Amino acid sequence: MKKWLNYLPTIFIISIIVSLIAYSSQGSLRHMNYSEFQNLAKTAEFGNSSLTISSNVIDVEGVYTDPSQSSKNSTAFSVLVPNTEENLTWLTKTLEANGGQISIEDPNQGSVWLNVLGQLIPFLLIGVFFYFMFTKMGGGGSNKAFEFSKNKARMETDVKVRFKDVAGCDEEKEEVKEIIDYLRSPKKFTDMGAHIPKGILMVGPPGTGKTLLAKAVAGEANVPFFSVSGSDFVEMFVGTGASRVRDMFKTAQKAAPCIIFIDEIDAVGRQRGAGMGGGNDEREQTLNQLLVEMDGMVDNNGIVIIAATNRPDVLDPALLRSGRFDRQVTVNLPDIRGRQQILEVHARNKHLASDVELDNLAKRTPGFSGADLANVLNEGAILAVRNKEKVITMADLDEAIDRVMMGPAKKSKKYTEKDKWLVSYHEAGHAVIGLRLEDADMVQKVTIIPRGEAGGYNLMTPREEKYFHRKSEYLAQITGLLGGRTAEEIVFGEISAGAVNDIEKLTDIAKNMVRVFGMSSLGPIQYANPQGNVFLGRDYTQGGNYSVGVAEEIDKEVRKIVDQCHTECHRILTENRALLDLIAHSLFEYETLTNEEITNLMKFGQITDPNAPAIETKEVEAELEENTPPKLPSKASEEELDAAKNELTKKKED
């Protein structure tokens, strides 16, 4: 029916066109009154005619020719004549005077219903057309008022996702296996007197697979899966959200056992009474109804609620208490083993080259979520198609990692020679700190090709993934972030604005060391709430939990940490000036260096053949003289070049 209603406007327009054509075809028919016909009958010559005789009138239709007119064309006419015996005799004589023939029509031959329908059809079409337009705009029908309060949960009865499709979260799977057993056979739990958790809250960063894990639970248990977003409950009309919650549980009760999945529950489950102007009544009523449905006067047996959020700190305490969300499952970012498993899952339908090693790819992507890893393989496949390759190569995946982290390369953007030297030494400074500082991250890749907002970047990964970081590791991170700015100071005698992102990161690390981690002379005292939420009204009136004097001491400690790291960074770069120049010159020439090439530069002085002998001092001097950057204060001294030569020769002999 809905399909035909979509064609109704077209049918209406066609009907109007047909009616206009029919009306225009009747435009040549001359309708006369009785007096006009009497005058015309005196001079006109009539052709064939038809008479429809009824009780009161005679309907005459035919054609005539007027001799007084210059044109001899026939004209159709129609006239109603009073039904009398004299008029009937006169009509017969007049119409047959010039050889015309008369046919008598039965007035009852046509159907009365057809005539009535013929008159009503245009009005019916107009009425149906306006009804269609009215309902299409959503303005009519009392059903809209009832549909407005209906829940927007989407039900899937045959979920295809299984645990094998969810990788990198083995512990999280163990936490939800009881839910699957309960949904499959609840009797063995009730016989033991156990109550299965009514709600499971999945907490974790975006893209870690919370939604996918919830669908896998429904798929493994083979039960209906209701999915809804927290924002689907909140509307501008008070009471709508609560009504939708009631309707959702009522619908789910009919399909029990089942799973209700609420994504981004913080949209409706935030703390009540928070905010500068008080809470939102509609959101709070919705939350109150959700609390009642989960553990109130109504017992919704067979319904398991799984919710996901990355902001558990803003949720209402009543929502997190036992009996509602009994269990919290933290879905963290995957470790190296988890990343490899995730890559294997997403590589099932990918055509990878024989040299692609997913374990190496996992090592180069610390901090990537499952969604990021899926995007890396997808970007690699797109690049392979763009390059008209038959398989996805490691070069495609390497470029895909850079795209996911920093965006596509801006190869059309050209540096001036001075800026190119500046960026080369800036990135070389980061690389040298990563190579020479023990606790610093490992250098995987260095490039001066612009990406996103950065003029170049270093891809640095931890030497080993840890859950806890030591103070020396934080200091090494700050020192590494200062490497680019310090290299500019040493080589060019001035600094640029290219280190703004580095300064932002190192400042946050230094402040956390002092205010949160207690890694300063102020002692193990926390001077800040690491989970403070400004948008919650309570934080505006809470104020700082330390005095003005302590704030001054905090600033001094932060500056002390940064100055200490800056001094250490300056020392390392000065002692390794030859290596800094070598990496910078290589970046200036090749623009991108990999981990293997940087290692070869450090060990052998060249990037091509690691088995070749170390370069001589004269070659280093010649290269520095040939590619001296603008405003370079001084090239490497003779002592530095001799020290570099001796060190490289010693490493080769070892």
Residues 394, 651: Cα–Cα separation, whole Å: 30
- Annotation-wise, does 486 bind a ligand? no
- Annotation-wise, does 309 bind a ligand? no
Q: Where are the alpha helices (DSSP H) in 516-547?
A: 538-542
Q: How many residues does the chain have?
A: 654
- Annotation-wise, does 211 bind a ligand? yes
The values of phi and psi at residue 181, to 5°, are: -65, -40
Given 427, 488, 591, 597, the catalytic residue: 427
What three-state secondary structure class fits 301?
coil
- Annotation-wise, does 99 bind a ligand? no
First to last CA, the chain: 85
**340 Cβ contact partners less than 8 Å away, ≥ 6 residues apart:** 358, 359, 361, 362
- Annotation-wise, does 224 bind a ligand? no
- Annotation-wise, does 204 bind a ligand? yes
Give which of 277, 157, 226 is closest to 537, Cα–Cα. Answer: 277
Neighbour count for residue 212 (Cβ, 10 Å): 16
| H/E run at residue 566 | helix 548-575
Is 473 noted as a catalytic residue in this protein?
Answer: no
- Annotation-wise, does 209 bind a ligand? yes
**554 Cβ contact partners less than 8 Å away, ≥ 6 residues apart:** 511, 514, 515, 522, 527, 546
Residues 570, 573: Cα–Cα separation, whole Å: 5
Q: How distant, in Å, are the alpha carbons of 277, 423, 430, 454 from that of 487? A: 51, 10, 8, 17
- Annotation-wise, does 530 bind a ligand? no
Instruction: Write down the residue that tokens 């040298």 correspond to.
Output: 432
Tokens read off for 186: 């609840």
Dmax over Cα atoms in the chain, in whole Å?
142
Q: Which residue type, as a one-letter code, is found at position 364? A: R
- Annotation-wise, does 207 bind a ligand? yes
Q: Which residues carry a binding-site annotation for ATP?
A: 204-211
User: Could you give the residue numbers annotated as active site?
Assistant: 427
Q: Which residues carry a binding-site annotation?
A: 204-211, 426, 430, 502
Q: Which residues carry a binding-site annotation for Zn(2+)?
A: 426, 430, 502
